[in-house]
Amino acid sequence: MTDMQSGEGSIIKVDRRDRVRRTAAQQAEVLAEYQRSGVSAAEFARLSGIKYQTLCGWLRRSRPQPAVQWVEAASAEAPAGLKLQFPGGAWLEVADERQAALAAKLVQALARPC
């Protein structure tokens, strides 16, 4: 990393590809300003000189990750299927053991942090 002097007297850190590196505090400040701005993420990124993908990554990492809760259920009757409901309202219906194995892999993948 190298340092560059900006016109405002602060030091801006850049990497070898001349990408500006921001501290966690600076990222939090940018996100707070975005929340106050009331404009879309794409518009805010354009106005602030931040790549849209970078802003989206910061937003995604700043949101709390929902905890996955495992529940075991048993039924005396023949099972008609299983419905999994995810945070945000998405759901998945499982009808047989093969689908259950795939659903388990999906839930495990979703539980891993980005």
Q: What is the pLDDT of residue 40?
A: 92
Report residue 90's pLDDT band, with 50, 70 and 90 as the boundaries: confident
| Distance, CA of 73 to CA of 4 (rounded, Å) | 60
| Distance, CA of 35 to CA of 33 (rounded, Å) | 5
Both structure tokens of 107: 């839930």
Both structure tokens of 71: 């529940």
What pairs with residue 109 in β-bridges? none
- Confidence check: pLDDT of 106 > 50: yes
User: Model-level pTM?
Assistant: 0.47
Instruction: For residue 39, give every residue at least 6 positions away whose Cβ sits within 8 Å of its Cβ, in sequence order, or none.
Output: 47
